[in-house]
Amino acid sequence: MIQFTPKDPDFEKRVQDSFARQKFMTFIHARLNKIEPGFCEIEIPFSENISQQHGFFHAGIIGTVADNAAGYAAYSLMSKTSSILTVEFKLNLISPADGELLIGNAHVLKYGRTLTICRSDVYSVKNGIRKLCAASQSTLIELPEHNDKRN
Amino acid sequence: MIQFTPKDPDFEKRVQDSFARQKFMTFIHARLNKIEPGFCEIEIPFSENISQQHGFFHAGIIGTVADNAAGYAAYSLMSKTSSILTVEFKLNLISPADGELLIGNAHVLKYGRTLTICRSDVYSVKNGIRKLCAASQSTLIELPEHNDKRN
Amino acid sequence: MIQFTPKDPDFEKRVQDSFARQKFMTFIHARLNKIEPGFCEIEIPFSENISQQHGFFHAGIIGTVADNAAGYAAYSLMSKTSSILTVEFKLNLISPADGELLIGNAHVLKYGRTLTICRSDVYSVKNGIRKLCAASQSTLIELPEHNDKRN
Amino acid sequence: MIQFTPKDPDFEKRVQDSFARQKFMTFIHARLNKIEPGFCEIEIPFSENISQQHGFFHAGIIGTVADNAAGYAAYSLMSKTSSILTVEFKLNLISPADGELLIGNAHVLKYGRTLTICRSDVYSVKNGIRKLCAASQSTLIELPEHNDKRN
């Protein structure tokens, strides 16, 4: 994996604050496990509330964890006065997300002046055994001088 | 749009039942607006619980509505003894999903023996004005003789 | 389809000139069929040179026509001093591209200040019968004050 | 990377034969550099014929090398009586493909009964220096008892 030097030495706190402002993360009990320059890991414990018709994690939740991990991996590298938006993401669902925990991690492939490209891997953990359940690739855009907080 | 003849005349009830079994849909107050052969529309009212850091609909929710509409558009055409899984989807976020309602609709581009391809459009509605906020393209797989209900 | 007003009244000539500078288009005998504000159609006649192992159009050629049509649909709307690059594209191959001609057309879904989103449809024509063989969705970036000609 | 055991001990020859049947590969002077179980590397030397308007490798060629490497990485694992088709691929163009050589390699993330998921990385080489210029993620389908040769 590439070694990145973050522009903002306080990137960790900035990411944690932004994550905490995402009400949806609280609603689904998502936790920010790890944030490093160009890397992020988020996990979500299983609950019936976020399941699909077979009782597994819903694909929408899998997309959420893949996209959000990518967003914060990218955001860790950005200037402290920038905000971030997802341009697009593409997610392959690889095996049923059956288990007690969902873990998504993402790393930055390229941090560009405007656009950042990330890859995410999502794992389901069942009885402690971790299995790749989804993989994604995404594009993020840095909005300079744009407050990440609510308007 | 292509005219499809569903294999199962009771496709509407079958889709509604499957939708009702998705606990995540209930949790976020999603409603199945319309189901026709090869077409589906789902809507989700705004609530703080499903918002991101700027107070808009979270990208994960936008992905959810795009993916789920595609899944049920495809499922409407399938045999009554088949189940369905999303293989992959790709979502472009086009404008901030700011509003009181999110509407996702999907139509089938190709219904194949194994794979089905769909396109989805997602709209945010603010003060009654509808605006395209996301577009996706996805691949679904039909699992013959596979119960759609929980194992 | 959305009606767009191009910033550059000479967009048609600008697109034709750029297309003519793409040596790869000449090499595979691609033709720019139609260019309108936010829309482009390109076609490529079949030849053994661009076939895959089953004797059909190669997927790389299908991706080329989808991407290039999207690029010029977007470029038609841009300022005359801008250049364009593809950020990403996602292509579904829907049926074997078996025939004497490949036609790709693309339209702009959203023309933004920095990013433009397009959808493309690719058709194979066999014995005069046109069939959808691929569908794509792509993201393009406008580079202001950037010469489209070779450096 | 995952270690795979190919079903067909003669996978290398089978891949080389299929590659040789793709006329488009010959036309653009592509070479199959390396084939291992679940891995493939293809390279293409620069020529004017495959360039875009700025004189770099055309995005269609970059997509071709990413898709083809993925296809053969997947095909290396398949039964000797199977054929393969690309279902879809998504490609991010990360930096201008400026150089004397384009190298695409792909590895299998998941080899499934019907579908296989791969990731590809594409590098441009300029004055001997290798730089990531594109990244893709793709889905392939195995067609059992289906001749890979021309009908």
What is the value of ipTM here, to two decimals? 0.94
Q: Is D148 on the interface with C (CB under 8 A)?
A: yes
Nearest to C92 by CA among D97, B136, B64, B85: B136
Q: Is B118 on the interface with A (CB under 8 A)?
A: no
pLDDT in tens, D3-52: 999 999 999 999 999 999 999 999 999 999 999 999 999 999 999 999 99
Q: Is D137 on the interface with C (CB under 8 A)?
A: no
Asked whether the predicted pLDDT for residue D150 surpasses 60, the reply is no
Range 43-72 of D in CB contact (< 8 A) with B:
none
In the prediction, which pLDDT does B150 show? 56
Asked whether the predicted pLDDT for residue A37 surpasses 90, the reply is yes
Asked whether the predicted pLDDT for residue B148 surpasses 60, the reply is yes
Say if the Cβ atoms of C115 and A90 lie within 8 Å.
no
Name B14's Cβ contacts closer than 8 Å, sequence gap at least 6. Answer: B8, B75, B80, B148
In the prediction, which pLDDT does A32 show? 98
In chain D, domain spans: 11-143
Q: Which residue of D has its CA nearest to C27?
A: D49
Tokens of A23: 């009400």
The Cα B21–Cα B15 span in angstroms is 10
Say if the Cβ atoms of B54 and A150 lie within 8 Å.
yes
C-alpha atoms less than 13 angstroms from C-alpha of C55 in its C-beta half-sphere: 6
| Mean pLDDT for chain C overall | 95
Q: SS in 3 state form for chain A?
A: CCCCCCCCCCHHHHHHHHHHHCHHHHHCCCEEEEEECCEEEEEEECCHHHECCCCCECHHHHHHHHHHHHHHHHHCCCCCCCEEEEEEEEEEECCCCCCCEEEEEEEEEEECCCEEEEEEEEEEEECCEEEEEEEEEEEEEEECCCCCCCC
Which of the residues A86, A109, A115, A116 would you substitute to probe the C interface, choosing the one with the greatest number of C C-beta atoms within 10 Å? A115
Say if the Cβ atoms of C114 and A141 lie within 8 Å.
yes
In the prediction, which pLDDT does C60 show? 97
The Cα D74–Cα D88 span in angstroms is 13
Which of the residues B87, B117, B136, B140 would you substitute to probe the D interface, choosing the one with the greatest number of D C-beta atoms within 10 Å? B87
Candidates A51, A68, A87; nearest CB to B24:
A51
pLDDT in tens, A54-81: 899 999 999 999 999 999 999 999 999 9
What is the value of pTM for the model shown?
0.96
Name D11's Cβ contacts closer than 8 Å, sequence gap at least 6. Answer: D35, D37, D75, D76, D77, D80
In CATH, the architecture of B11-143 is: Roll (3.10)
For residue C109, the chain B residues in CB contact (below 8 A) are 92, 94, 132, 135
